[in-house]
Amino acid sequence: MARRETALQAAHGRLRELIGSEFRSGDKLPNERDLAERLEVSRATVREVLGQLAAEGVVTRTWGIGTFVHDGAERVPVSISDVTALRDRITASGHRPTLQDAAVSRATCPPDCAKVLGLAPEAPVWRVDRLFAVDGVPAAWIRDHLPLSFDGRDLDPSGLVSIDLDMFEFLASATGMPVCRAEIELAAVLADEESTARLGVALGHPLITATQIGYGSNGAALFHGHFTVRTDVLTLKLSRGGDPQPTR
């Protein structure tokens, strides 16, 4: 038993040394077989050591995706259960949100967006790209599309390049109709080249992407967006209460 514990301790130290010398925060580690060959131990030993390192916060493990070097940064919990600006959700968690990059331009409406907004395929729309950071660390990249006009009112989203104006606030002012409901569909993905460039993570880093549609009080869709989140910086919290009780 003592010999096995000594072997595990040796493998533990060697793997920590390997991670510290060859990998950076957010990097994906080789698979268990490759690590076992490099350390000259069994895959079972590697699996046990990785479990220890995960418990210590050195790595994060995602089933079906892989093992990644943890950056040690505190994750900021944000709720997606209500219609609230991301900026305000981050601030409510005691952290500082900033816009590291933002741009507003005219673009051709993507097919999925055109269907939601009730526009003709390839109709011109506004495209709003924003890169949110938490305490200076890139955390969420959001790309929204919205019509050039709504109910006879021309929309000018140029103010959204400032952290001081949020999409929900802009639409309430510009359309006279607040966003009262948002539908969000989540998916787990691995970082591609564009996500790597935007969020500063390694290729293959685990991310969460979402499609979000905001609706006005009349049921009309006001915007259609996609956002990509670094789960090593932000954690998304979805709360669900019980069924409302009847009232008299």
- Whether residues 142 and 198 fall in one domain: yes
Return the structure tokens found at 76: 């900021």
Domain contains 246: no
Phi, psi of 222, rounded to the nearest 5 degrees: -100, -30
Q: What is the DSSP string of 15-44?
A: HHHHHHHH--TTPBPPPHHHHHHHHTS-HH
Identify the weakest region by mean pLDDT among 88-97, 108-117, 208-217.
Answer: 88-97
- The CATH code of the domain that includes 104 is 3.40.1410.10
Cβ atoms of 88 and 80 closer than 8 Å = no
Tokens 């905001």 sit at which residue? 214
Cβ-count burial of 228 within 10 angstroms (0-12 exposed, 13-18 middle, 19+ buried)?
A: buried
Q: What is the pTM of this model?
A: 0.68
- Structure-model confidence comparison of residues 53 and 162, the more confident one: 162
Please tell me the distance from the alpha carbon of residue 20 to that of residue 17, in angstroms, as a whole number: 5
Averaged pLDDT for residues 210-232:
91
Averaged pLDDT for residues 207-236:
89
Q: What pLDDT score does 73 carry? A: 54
What is the DSSP pairing of strand 206-215 with strand 181-190?
Answer: antiparallel
- Whether residues 213 and 90 fall in one domain: yes
Averaged pLDDT for residues 89-101:
88
- Whether residues 98 and 218 fall in one domain: yes
- Whether residues 170 and 225 fall in one domain: yes
User: How is residue 163 annotated by DSSP?
Assistant: T
- Whether residues 108 and 177 fall in one domain: yes
The total number of structural domains in the chain stands at: 2
- The CATH code of the domain that includes 14 is 1.10.10.10
**Long-range CB pairs of 121-126, under 8 A, 24+ apart, other chains included:** 124/148, 126/155, 126/157
Return the structure tokens found at 234: 């932000």
Q: What pLDDT score does 75 carry? A: 66
- Whether residues 53 and 125 fall in one domain: no
- Whether residues 194 and 157 fall in one domain: yes
**Kindly report the CA angle at 78 between 73 and 82, in degrees rounded to 5?**
175
Q: How distant, in Å, are the alpha carbons of 43, 170, 176 from that of 85? A: 46, 11, 18
- Whether residues 26 and 144 fall in one domain: no
* Structural domain range at position 184: 76-237
Q: What pLDDT score does 61 carry? A: 78
